[in-house]
Amino acid sequence: MDELVHLAVADGVATITLDSPHNRNALSTQLRRELREHLTTAIADDAVRVIVLDHTGPVFCAGMDLKESRSADAENQGVQEFPAILQQIWTSPKPIVAKLAGPARAGGVGIIAACDIAVSVDTATFAFSEVRIGVVPAVISVTVLPRLTTRQAHELFLTGETFDARRAADIGLINSAVPADGLDAEVKRYADMLALGAPKALAATKEMLTAQRPAAMTEAFDQMLELSAEYFAGEEGQEGMRAFAEKRKPSWVPDALR
* Residue 52 CB coordination number (10 Å): 23
Whether residue 49 contacts residue 195, with contact meaning beta carbons closer than 8 Å, is answered with yes
Distance CA 122, CA 85 (A): 26
Distance CA 11, CA 221 (A): 38
Whether residue 95 contacts residue 51, with contact meaning beta carbons closer than 8 Å, is answered with yes
Distance CA 218, CA 201 (A): 23
* Residue 76 CB coordination number (10 Å): 10
Residues designated as active site: 130
Question: Which residue in 126, 133, 137 sits closest to 162, CA to CA?
Answer: 126
Q: Kind of pairing, strands 50-55 and 13-18?
A: parallel
DSSP string over 86-155 = HHHHHH-SS-EEEEESS-EETHHHHHHHHSSEEEEETT-EEE--GGGGT---HHHHHHHGGGS-HHHHHH
The residues pairing with 175 across neighbouring beta strands, listed in sequence order, are: none
- Phi then psi for 34, rounded to 5 degrees? -70, -35
